[in-house]
Amino acid sequence: MSQKSEPTWSRKIFRLTLASLVAFIVGVSLGLRDAYAESVSNIYVPDAGYVGMASTTGWQSGGVRFAIGSTGSSISMYYMFAGMRLWHLGNLDEEDYVGVNYTTSVSTATLSTVLYGEPFSTRSALLYSSSSHSALEYTSYYDKSGSCPDYWYYGIQC
């Protein structure tokens, strides 16, 4: 009986890049006006090293914006969180979040809005062990005006 080995970090990055490229090509062929991803890799996770990744991927079609937030790691984490928020005029309009123990990746549901000028913001957290500190990263779509704690918590653009 053969055992399936865990994909390497470089293979995971290759798969993520390939998936983003395919999504972009499909989006262009379907007539989407906009496809964007803000991604941060090599995030330092205390007691684990530079193993984390955070991203917000978004696209636009027919006046509607869509986005999904993701958190990943090249090694299994004790706890991993991905949360996405959309603020409008100082009020929390939409949010989705998921936290999972003992995993290498997690993603939010796809959120959408017909509002313009408001970014989707993703908060990514990675915790290697119950006794270590977590690593936090903020990414956003359609620009970086939501890539900070002030936007995530209060709706104040960066």
- The pLDDT tens digits of the residues spanning 124-145 come to 999 999 999 999 999 988 888 8
- Spans of all domains in the chain: 9-154
Task: Check if CATH label 2.60.40 holds for domain 9-154.
Answer: yes
User: Which run of H or E residues covers position 113?
Assistant: strand 111-113
What does 73-112 look like in DSSP terms, one character per residue?
EEEEEEEEEEEEEEEETTEEEEEEEEEEEEEEEEEPPPEE
Most confident segment among 26-35, 88-97, 98-107: 98-107
pTM for this prediction: 0.77
Residue 1 has pLDDT above 50, yes or no: no
- The pLDDT tens digits of the residues spanning 59-73 come to 888 888 899 999 999
